[in-house]
């Protein structure tokens, strides 16, 4: 069996989070009664004229900037002609050409530093949806027809070489789109769709092999499994002396296998030409620079900054960067002179747990950045120990009361005085004479039990390190 090298190109379609469709004022939403969000424009009725959605164009340019692309200062829409029942006009408005798409020649950097080249970021419109009806017939729902769709295509030849990288690319791209607010990223609802194309070639050769394209992938997992499956299927075919076809293949989620759908069309089949109903888009430098300057700091840059400036681990940083709201919440707390590490610990443990249980986002909860700063300070100064910290947090989460006030009201401050602790240690040792004997007989492990008993007497308020130290000292005496 020969060794092969894989090349994986990624085509990602993202439905833009605009209020209305690309060329008409029909609202954009998921689900609903079929054909209730349609009009003469998105149904392609004769005589109707399209008006481009400015917000959608801006979203694509912002994405292109985030992906380090060049921006086409003059860009046109083309008609991509083909017949399919979900395409009412008989063509799809799209953008053709090497440097005509709104964004081209960029790259996305993976967390490991590898750059994945981006060939183009263009704007088009979505198609309708074919539906199988309960009576065995078929119908078509045009609610989705004309929804603004952004297509992001990786470079050729591809930089991605295995299923792991394919998944990482998609995870990171999705995070950027959600971060920019240009797409909701819901793969299960089809607002983010990925079609990888895969080819393999024998190790040491240059010419790319025949590629297959995978359709119907709706999760990160299926992208990873699908690419892996195709690499293995193609290798097995070549090893058996077979030839590969350039084809489009479907993905069967249940069997975790791909199946042939159709032989792939070539670009010529689509007879692209500029759409005569749509005037060219022309931008000036001031507009593009304005968008560039208004860009938020992106997740990867934030992660690197959190690690560098706050001493967070990459894992902790990534947990804070799962969404923009969480990251901004964290940064607000740090800006109030909070200890970054302590605040991060609260956010990824107690806060995350309570939010998850309550089904809330940080801003929807009773907790503000100021709560986190106070609690982190109470813990860092040993005013309360971590066990009490959890109780205080739970109380603050429930009532919105400030941690300082809860600690005062319930007299929860940690006791650091030797006096009361020594008294309790003596009492516990006296009440557990037989355990003390076992300790002195060499079973030093039993000290933990005695420490626990002392902590109990102190109702969790004794300084745990001090209790440990004093129990040991008392045990070693005589
Ligand atoms: Zn419409």
Ligand 1 centroid–CA 399 distance in Å is 47
Which residues sit opposite 213 in a β-bridge?
A: 197, 248
Ligand 1 centroid–CA 23 distance in Å is 7
Q: Which two tokens stand for residue 164?
A: 């792991």
Ligand 1 centroid–CA 149 distance in Å is 15
Residue 395 has pLDDT above 80, yes or no: yes
Orientation of helix 464-476 relative to helix 418-431, angle to 10°: 50
**CA distances from residue 352 to 304, 325, 378 in whole angstroms, order as listed:** 22, 13, 19
Give the per-residue pLDDT at 458.
Answer: 84
Cis peptide before 313 (omega within 30 of 0): no
Ligand 1 centroid–CA 54 distance in Å is 16
Ligand 1 centroid–CA 102 distance in Å is 23
Ligand 1 centroid–CA 148 distance in Å is 11
Ligand 1 centroid–CA 49 distance in Å is 11
Q: Which residue has the higher pLDDT, 411 or 119?
A: 119
Tell me how far apart the alpha carbons of residues 65 and 166 are, in angstroms, rounded to a whole number: 22
Residue 226 has pLDDT above 80, yes or no: yes
Give the per-residue pLDDT at 45.
Answer: 95
pLDDT band at 173 (very low <50, low <70, confident <90, very high): very high
Give the per-residue pLDDT at 269.
Answer: 81
Tell me how far apart the alpha carbons of residues 301 and 298 are, in angstroms, rounded to a whole number: 6
Give the per-residue pLDDT at 180.
Answer: 96
Q: Rg (Cα) of the chain, in Å, rounded?
A: 30
Residue 185 has pLDDT above 70, yes or no: yes
Ligand 1 centroid–CA 38 distance in Å is 4
Ligand 1 centroid–CA 63 distance in Å is 25
On whether the pTM is more than 0.85, the answer is no
Q: Which residue has the higher pLDDT, 141 or 266?
A: 141
The helix or strand, by DSSP H or E, that contains position 130, with its residue range, turns out to be: strand 129-132
Ligand 1 centroid–CA 228 distance in Å is 40
Ligand 1 centroid–CA 216 distance in Å is 26
Find the mean pLDDT for residues 383-407: 93
Ligand 1 centroid–CA 28 distance in Å is 10
Ligand 1 centroid–CA 152 distance in Å is 24
Ligand 1 centroid–CA 264 distance in Å is 30
Give the per-residue pLDDT at 457.
Answer: 86
Residue 408 has pLDDT above 70, yes or no: yes
What distance lies between CA 223 and its chain's CA centroid?
A: 15
pLDDT band at 401 (very low <50, low <70, confident <90, very high): very high
Ligand 1 centroid–CA 173 distance in Å is 29
Which residues sit opposite 121 in a β-bridge?
A: 103, 152
Q: In this structure, are residues 13 and 215 in contact, taking their beta carbons and an 8 Å threshold?
A: no
pLDDT tens digits, one per residue of 35-70:
999 999 999 999 999 999 999 999 999 999 999 999
So where are the chain's domains?
A: 4-287, 297-409, 418-476
Ligand 1 centroid–CA 10 distance in Å is 30
pLDDT tens digits, one per residue of 127-172:
999 998 889 899 999 999 999 999 999 999 999 999 999 999 999 9
What distance lies between CA 230 and its chain's CA centroid?
A: 25
Which has the minimum average pLDDT: 44-58, 63-77, 95-109, 443-457?
443-457
Ligand 1 centroid–CA 417 distance in Å is 74
Share of the chain above pLDDT 70, in %: 99
Give the per-residue pLDDT at 183.
Answer: 97
**CA distances from residue 386 to 340, 342, 393, 464 in whole angstroms, order as listed:** 17, 11, 10, 10
Find the mean pLDDT for residues 441-454: 90
Ligand 1 centroid–CA 74 distance in Å is 26
Measured on CA atoms in the order 305, 310, 316, 321, is the torsion positive or negative? negative
pLDDT tens digits, one per residue of 247-262:
999 999 888 899 988 7
Share of the chain above pLDDT 90, in %: 79
Ligand 1 centroid–CA 186 distance in Å is 23
Ligand 1 centroid–CA 287 distance in Å is 28
Maximum pairwise Cα distance, the chain: 102
Residue 282 has pLDDT above 80, yes or no: yes
Which residues, 6 or more positions from 62, have their beta carbon under 8 angstroms from its beta carbon?
Answer: 180, 182, 291, 295
Residue 316 has pLDDT above 80, yes or no: yes
Ligand 1 centroid–CA 124 distance in Å is 15
Mean pLDDT of the chain, nearest integer: 93
Ligand 1 centroid–CA 469 distance in Å is 74
Find the mean pLDDT for residues 327-355: 95
Q: In this structure, are residues 434 and 450 in contact, taking their beta carbons and an 8 Å threshold?
A: no
Ligand 1 centroid–CA 40 distance in Å is 6
Domain 418-476 CATH class label: mainly alpha
Which residues, 6 or more positions from 162, have their beta carbon under 8 angstroms from its beta carbon?
Answer: 6, 8, 227, 231
Ligand 1 centroid–CA 277 distance in Å is 16
Residue 264 has pLDDT above 70, yes or no: no
φ, ψ (nearest 5 deg) of residue 342: -65, -40
Find the mean pLDDT for residues 263-272: 78
Which has the minimum average pLDDT: 9-23, 58-72, 391-405, 457-471?
457-471
Give the per-residue pLDDT at 254.
Answer: 87
Ligand 1 centroid–CA 18 distance in Å is 13
User: Beta strand 148-154 with 247-252: parallel, antiparallel or unpaired?
Assistant: unpaired
Tell me how far apart the alpha carbons of residues 399 and 306 are, in angstroms, rounded to a whole number: 31
pLDDT band at 1 (very low <50, low <70, confident <90, very high): low
Ligand 1 centroid–CA 184 distance in Å is 21
Find, among 342, 298, 343, 339, the residue nearest to 321 by Cα.
298
């Amino acid at each position: 069996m020969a060794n092969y090298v894989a090349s994986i190109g990624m085509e990602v379609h993202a439905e833009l989070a605009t209020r209305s469709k690309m060329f008409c004022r029909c609202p954009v939403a998921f689900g609903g009664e079929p054909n209730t969000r349609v009009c003469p424009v998105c149904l392609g009725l004769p005589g109707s004229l399209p008006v481009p959605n400015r917000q959608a164009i801006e979203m694509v340019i912002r994405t292109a900037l985030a992906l380090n692309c060049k921006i086409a200062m003059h860009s046109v829409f083309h008609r991509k002609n083909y017949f399919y029942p979900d395409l009412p006009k008989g063509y799809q408005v799209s953008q053709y050409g090497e440097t005509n798409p709104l964004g081209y020649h960029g790259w996305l950097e993976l967390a490991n530093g590898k750059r994945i080249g981006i060939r183009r970021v263009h704007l088009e419109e979505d198609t309708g949806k074919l539906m199988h009806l309960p009576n065995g017939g078929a119908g078509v729902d045009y609610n989705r027809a004309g929804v603004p769709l952004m297509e992001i295509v990786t470079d050729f030849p591809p930089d991605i070489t295995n299923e792991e990288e394919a998944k990482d690319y998609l995870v990171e791209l999705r995070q950027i789109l959600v971060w920019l607010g240009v797409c909701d990223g819901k793969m299960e609802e089809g607002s983010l769709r990925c079609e990888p194309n895969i080819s393999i070639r024998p190790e040491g050769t240059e010419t790319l092999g025949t590629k297959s394209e995978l359709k119907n992938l709706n999760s990160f997992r299926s992208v990873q499994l699908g690419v892996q499956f195709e690499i293995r299927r193609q290798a097995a075919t070549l090893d058996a002396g077979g030839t590969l076809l350039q084809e489009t293949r479907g993905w069967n989620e249940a069997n975790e296998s791909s199946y042939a759908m159709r032989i792939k069309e070539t670009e010529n089949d689509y007879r692209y030409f500029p759409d005569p109903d749509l005037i060219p888009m022309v931008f000036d430098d001031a507009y593009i620079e304005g968008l560039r300057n208004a860009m938020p700091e992106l997740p990867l840059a934030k992660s690197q900054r959190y690690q560098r400036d706050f001493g967070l681990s990459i894992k902790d940083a990534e947990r804070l960067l799962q969404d923009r709201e969480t990251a901004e919440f964290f940064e607000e707390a740090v800006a109030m002179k909070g200890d970054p590490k302590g605040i991060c610990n609260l956010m990824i443990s107690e806060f995350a747990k309570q939010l998850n249980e309550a089904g809330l986002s940080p801003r929807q909860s009773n907790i503000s950045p100021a709560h986190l700063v106070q609690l982190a300070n109470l813990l860092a100064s040993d005013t309360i120990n971590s066990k009490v910290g959890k109780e205080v947090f739970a109380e603050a989460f429930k009532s919105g009361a400030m941690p300082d006030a809860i600690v005062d009201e319930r007299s929860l401050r940690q006791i650091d005085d030797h006096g009361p602790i020594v008294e309790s240690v003596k009492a516990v040792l006296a009440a557990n004479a037989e355990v003390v004997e076992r300790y002195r007989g060499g079973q030093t492990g039993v000290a933990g039990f005695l420490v626990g008993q002392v902590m109990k007497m102190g109702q969790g308020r004794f300084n745990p390190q001090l209790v440990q130290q004093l129990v040991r000292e008392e045990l070693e005496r005589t």
